[in-house]
Amino acid sequence: MSLKGKTAIITGSNSGIGLGIAQELARAGADVVINSFTDRDEDHKLAEDLGKEHGVTARYIKADMSKGDECRALIEQAGACDILVNNAGIQHVAPIDEFPVEKWDAIIAINMTSAFHTMAAALPMMRKAGWGRVVNIASAHGLTASPYKSAYIAAKHGVVGMTKTVALETAEEPITANAICPGYVLTPLVEAQIPDTMKEYDMSREDVIKNVMLQRQPSKEFATVEQIGGTTVFLCSDAAAQITGTTISVDGGWTAL
Ligand code: NAD
């Protein structure tokens, strides 16, 4: 599978799943745009190293996905967008009656509304190029719920709904839109949830991992960033040209329960 000549923009990709996706797309030959809201030397170095490793053009573009104008500017600045991966995301865990309003607003903006802005800016470019792939990173929490994650679950269900809508709006064009729904993947985002969950359930770290996080993941194994990246590459392949408006779970059986 070669994605040579295609430009992929991956939001929120200087760590975790986004970086794993950028790696796999670059391995498949795509030029990649890495993004986050910071503008550190190490962000640009990350892109430089990735480009060298895979012999592709890799750039880092700073844009804050909580701001609509910056989401759109990211796509414009990249100049091309054949593959759009909406991956930026944050989490906050609290009961709904104690959920901080600013956390709710930030999660809805970064995890959901950013995808509206980037898709709106990218679709005209895909139409002009005559080919496009939208891959939205939702979650098993885009299909099911858990307590204390109201904003995240609302946002991820929203992403799944928006993906279906865009798929219908592009159904007669050579463009597809799908969502990947990962179960637990051990990344900085998940690592950061462990202390709060330990407090919430009064459990040790080991028990939180086994009995809370992986309790609903029948495989009892975390999914890997390489697996999410590989699924993204598959969705960009010719074999997936008729796959649109759907979700692919990479969750060790979570949603089969
Ligand atoms: P992570 O914290 O490692 O990565 C999140 C990325 O988003 C980082 O690159 C961060 O810099 C970026 N980001 C955060 N706020 C941003 C902003 N305002 N503007 C631009 N970028 C911003 O987390 P991750 O686990 O790799 O999560 C990536 C995506 O995968 C998220 O959408 C998350 O909801 C989803 N997901 C993760 C898991 C999991 O178990 N890790 C499971 C299902 C879905």
For the chain, the three-class secondary structure string (H helix, E strand, C coil) is CCCCCCEEEECCCCCHHHHHHHHHHHHCCCEEEEEECCCCHHHHHHHHHHHHHHCCCEEEEECCCCCHHHHHHHHHHHCCCCEEEECCCCCCCCCHHHCCHHHHHHHHHHHHHHHHHHHHHHHHHHHHHCCEEEEEECCHHHCCCCCCCHHHHHHHHHHHHHHHHHHHHCCCCCEEEEEEEECCECCHHHHHHHHHHHHHHCCCHHHHHHHHHHHHCCCCCCECHHHHHHHHHHHCCHHHCCCCCCEEEECCCHHHC
111 is written with which tokens?
């995890």
**Residue closest by Cα to atom 20 of ligand 1:** 36
For residue 216, count other CB atoms closer than 10 A to its CB: 17
Q: What's the whole-number mean pLDDT along residues 10-18?
A: 98
Domains of the chain, by residue range, sit at 7-185+223-256, 186-222
State the distance from the centre of ligand 1 to the C-alpha of 86, rounded, in angstroms.
10
pLDDT over 90 at 33, yes or no: yes
Reference 220, options 180, 186, 248; nearest CA is 186
pLDDT band at 188 (very low <50, low <70, confident <90, very high): confident
pLDDT over 80 at 189, yes or no: no
State the distance from the centre of ligand 1 to the C-alpha of 33, rounded, in angstroms.
16
Q: Is 20 in the pocket of ligand 1 (CB under 6 A)?
A: no
Q: What's the whole-number mean pLDDT along residues 171-177?
A: 98
Provide the percentage of residues in the chain whose pLDDT is more than 70: 100
State the distance from the centre of ligand 1 to the C-alpha of 90, rounded, in angstroms.
6
Cβ-based neighbours of 195, under 8 Å, separated by 6 or more: none
Q: Is 232 in the pocket of ligand 1 (CB under 6 A)?
A: no
Give the end-to-end CA distance of the chain in Å, rounded to a whole number. 33
Q: Is 113 in the pocket of ligand 1 (CB under 6 A)?
A: no
Q: Is 71 in the pocket of ligand 1 (CB under 6 A)?
A: no
User: Catalytic one among 60, 148, 152, 184?
Assistant: 152
**Residue closest by Cα to atom 23 of ligand 1:** 189
> How far from 238 is each of 50, 56, 84, CA to CA, in Å?
25, 21, 16
**Residue closest by Cα to atom 33 of ligand 1:** 89
Cα(145)–Cα(147) distance, integer angstroms: 7
**Residue closest by Cα to atom 44 of ligand 1:** 139
pLDDT band at 150 (very low <50, low <70, confident <90, very high): very high
Catalytic residue at 152? yes
Homologous superfamily of the 7-185+223-256 domain (CATH) = NAD(P)-binding Rossmann-like Domain (3.40.50.720)
Q: What's the whole-number mean pLDDT along residues 39-54?
A: 98
Tell me the pLDDT tens digit for each residue of 84-128: 999 999 999 999 999 999 999 999 999 999 999 999 999 999 999
- Check residue 1 and give its pLDDT: 67
**pTM above the 0.75 mark?**
yes
